[in-house]
Amino acid sequence: MGEVYRAMDTRLGREVAMKVLPAAVARDPERLARFKREARVLAALNHPNIATIFGVEDEALVMELIEGETLGERIKAGAIPVEDAVHIAQEIAAALEYAHQHGVVHRDLKPANVKAAERVKVLDFGLAKVHEVEDQSSDATITSATQAGMILGTAAYMSPEQASGLPVDARSDIFSFGVLLYEMLSGRRAFSEDTPISTIGAVLHKEPRPLHEIAPQVPSELESVVTRCMAKKPVERYQNMPDVREALKKAATRAAATAEPDGPSLAVLPFANLSADKENEYFSDGLAEEILIALSQMKGLRVAARSSSFSFKGKQAEPGEIASKLNVGHILDGSVRRAGNRVRVTVQLVDARRCIPLWSDRYDRQMEDIFEVQDEIARAIAAQLQVTLGGGGVKQATQNVEAYELYLKGRHYLNQRLASTMRLAIQCFEQAIQMDPNFPLAYAGLADCYAILRVYGFIRHEEGQGRALAAVTKAKALEPNSAEVNASLGLYAFYFGRWQDSGAHFERAVQLNPRSSLAQGYLALYLAMARKRDEAVARARTSCQADPLNPYAYALAACAFQILKEAEGGLSLTEKALELQPDFLFGLWMQGLVLTELERHEEAVLALEKVIGISRAPIFVALVAMGYARAGRKEDALRLLRELEERRDRGEFVPQWSPAGAMIELGDVEGLRNALKGALAESNPAFGIRLLATHRLDDYRSDPEVDRLLKQFFGY
């Protein structure tokens, strides 16, 4: 179908893929004109799972350059794991659905036309219908012009109607999709004969070997989807791609719900607050979280992460649905009712696969007995699931009930990650410390508050550094082998000290608690800053796997990908974060950045404008100014920069480094120098500068002063 070259677009300074057209097309003015018309239609297909067509130049097709292996190359190593195959299939189906909605049928869907890198990309959409190749000696491909009755496509993947030279519609792609999914799951072609003609005969008249005979690991629900896609008659297949996607989703959900996880596994749902005072919700949430932490200490028990479990708060969901999404076998839920100094805790353990209650109990106690209640619940769960509770019981960081309550309330506010709630969290942690001066987790929480306030530009370095250092130092002295304390030490170094010192602390936190999504995510950020790509990507993925329903985990991973200049991978992560929480500030922030790097400027600006719709903090205003400048909206960018200057003149703290990205996009070298000098003077976090200033920051290293300043920040 032509030869493909890696090329440089010298006007836009980007690498592209350039497909030189077959001579039969290039020499024929009428066919070339028709090809260009159709190329314009295809170029209008704008979907993250479709390779972008930029245009036709000098009898060549100019396309997005996509690195990585094709699906065909990946299948050569054998069958793809079921979960991965379903994920890839869903992304291919999304691309086909979008194309079909725009009147385009692929007609040559096969493993060689799918790139399966960080993001799945379908290639060569619809181009086969205008290509003509004289040489038909290949044992795999038969092509011709598009006259009625002529055969076009790749023999092993074409539909029966396509193989018969009949008109085709979207259902033809559905057949090819089924063949492709069959091959992913089994590692074998559905139709494979010695010659193209005999292969076509198999497509027309033979059924492929049943999946369960060659790939017993494939769930029967998923095999049913594949079989229906490959029905010989179009009317017997799914009639459109949305139906295919829904069937895939249901099959995966049912398979997960009936799967037996390796060893006992459990999700602790947030406990319902039945107290008259709705403000007691922090206590019911905190109690469930403390029990979750205690259960995580059990040997041989896998416990779903807090953020994933708590994503079901306030939602009506069946145990089977929860179990399938969290990949667990058991659910623990409960309720809390407080009245004065009395508390009633009701809990229930459910076998989620069979929806059968295994155990339940009710505890009516005084508040001072709440630690004993936690211990009793943990021991009852251990007995039911036949696992061992480590450490001889639930280890409490404090025995002071009032301090414990304040700590739970502080953690409730801290998890909301807003400037206003962060200050409420500080008050709670400080009061908890007054109640119990030897409460290590309260000190760690206090340090985390100041670190987060600092990186978001809400406080000056000198306002938080001393307090954070004192808190984290005390926490370490009290509990040096706590994962939470070591993660706090890492955050302090990352945002207040030398970021290079944070790695050892994050690694120690991961050693102490490998299931900590937060520790894994921050370790990925450190590794990205240290330019250790492979390790950073691995940690980022582990972070998301450890807490698959936590938008913060995906946004942290996207942050690492952005620093590594892996914008495509970062975009898919932000999409997942925003799917889980559409108004998630960090997710929108990261999506705006990665879309900017992908030069999808209108979409980037929309995402960034949503950020300042939620918070007009100076760093976010500066971020939108950068997006405007990159999109060519210079006056809008300058307007926002003037706003920051006016706010600084009124005495508001505006970090000196915040406009660095806008200065780069505006080509203001002197402004960039001043921003970096001010950032050094204010001891701003190097991480913030790396993230906000975009990848074009390194383009300015040719300026000796900029290069010198950057080396002071990054050490390279």
**pLDDT, tens only, 529-558:** 998 988 898 888 888 888 888 888 999 999
Q: Which DSSP string corresponds to 458-515?
A: SS-HHHHHHHHHHHHHHHHHH-TT-HHHHHHHHHHHHHTS-GGGHHHHHHHHHHH-TT
Closest CA to 72 of 158, 189, 193, 153: 189
Q: How confident is the model at residue 140 (pLDDT cuts 50, 70, 90)?
A: very low
Cα–Cα separations (whole angstroms), residue 391 to 35, 325, 396, 511, 672:
71, 30, 11, 17, 54
Determine which helix (DSSP H) or strand (DSSP E) holds 323, and give its type and residue range.
helix 319-326
Average pLDDT over residues 279-284: 82
CA angle 530, 531, 533 (to 5 degrees): 125
CA distances from residue 451 to 410, 426, 465 in whole angstroms, order as listed: 15, 12, 8
162/171 Cα distance (integer angstroms): 10
- Span 486-502, pLDDT tens digits: 999 999 999 898 889 99
At residue 395, the pLDDT reads 57
Q: Which of 105-109, 178-182, 305-309, 329-333 has the highest mean pLDDT?
A: 178-182
CA angle 563, 564, 565 (to 5 degrees): 90
The confidence band for 602, taking pLDDT boundaries of 50, 70 and 90, is very high
Look at the block and give the residue holding tokens 């932490």.
Answer: 293
Band of pLDDT at residue 141, cut at 50, 70 and 90: very low
364 SS3 class: strand
- pLDDT for residue 195: 86
The question of whether 364 is a catalytic residue gets the answer: no
| Cα 144 from Cα 321, distance rounded (Å) | 49
What is the mean predicted confidence (pLDDT) over 380-390? Answer: 73
Hey, which of 79-88, 164-173, 277-286 has the most confident mean pLDDT?
164-173
CB 248, CB 288: distance < 8 Å:
no
Q: Which fold has domain 265-396?
A: Rossmann fold (3.40.50)
Parse the chain into domains and list their residue ranges: 3-64, 71-258, 265-396
| Position 429, amino acid | F
Average pLDDT over residues 360-374: 86
- Average per-residue pLDDT in the chain? 84
In this predicted structure, which of 249-258, 265-274, 598-607, 630-639 has the lowest mean pLDDT? 249-258
DSSP-derived 3-state class of residue 257: helix
Asked if pLDDT for residue 642 goes beyond 90, the answer is yes
When pLDDT is cut at 50, 70 and 90, the band that residue 262 belongs to is low
Could you tell me if 14 and 119 are in contact, meaning their C-beta atoms sit under 8 angstroms apart? no
Of residues 283 and 238, which shows the higher confidence score?
238
Q: Which pair of structure tokens corresponds to residue 552?
A: 């913060």
Total Cβ atoms within 10 A of residue 346: 17
pLDDT of residue 686: 79
User: Token pair 């398979």 is at which residue?
Assistant: 255
Query: How big is the CA angle at 339 (ends 412 and 401), to the nearest 5 degrees?
Result: 50
Tell whether the model's pLDDT for residue 482 goes beyond 50. Answer: yes
Q: Which residues contact 534 (CB under 8 A, 6 or more apart)?
A: none
Q: What is the pLDDT of residue 386?
A: 74
Q: Yes or no: is domain 3-64 CATH 3.40.50.12160?
A: no
Averaged pLDDT for residues 8-17 = 86
CATH topology of domain 71-258: Transferase(Phosphotransferase); domain 1 (1.10.510)
% residues pLDDT > 70 (the chain): 91
DSSP lists the bridge partners of residue 362 as 346
- Show the tokens assigned to 208: 């492929």
Listed range (17-26, 541-550, 584-593) with the worst mean pLDDT: 17-26
The reported pLDDT for the residue numbered 139 is: 38
Calpha distance 334→341 (Å, rounded): 19
Check whether 714 has a pLDDT greater than 50.
yes
Max mean pLDDT among 11-25, 362-376, 550-564 falls in 550-564
Measure Cα distances from 230 to 99, 180, 191 in Å.
20, 10, 11
Of the residues 108, 173, 285, 436, which is catalytic? 108
**C-alpha to C-alpha distance for 305 and 548, rounded to whole angstroms:** 8
What does the block give as tokens for 579? 């799917």
Q: How many helices (H) and strands (E) does the chain have?
A: 32, 14
Residue 165 pLDDT greater than 60, yes or no: yes
pLDDT value, residue 260: 47
Confidence (pLDDT) at 94: 93
Taking residues 37-55, what's their average pLDDT?
81
% of the chain surpassing 90 pLDDT? 34
Query: Residue 172 — very low, low, confident or very high, per pLDDT cuts 50/70/90?
Result: very high
What phi, psi does 639 have (nearest 5°)? -60, -45
Residues 6+ apart with CB under 8 A from 458: 419, 422, 617, 653
Query: For residue 428, what pLDDT is reported?
Result: 94
Tell me what pLDDT residue 136 has.
35
Q: Which residue has the tokens 């938008």?
A: 551
Q: Which residue type sits at 78?
A: G
- The pLDDT tens digits of the residues spanning 54-82 come to 877 777 888 888 888 889 888 887 788 88
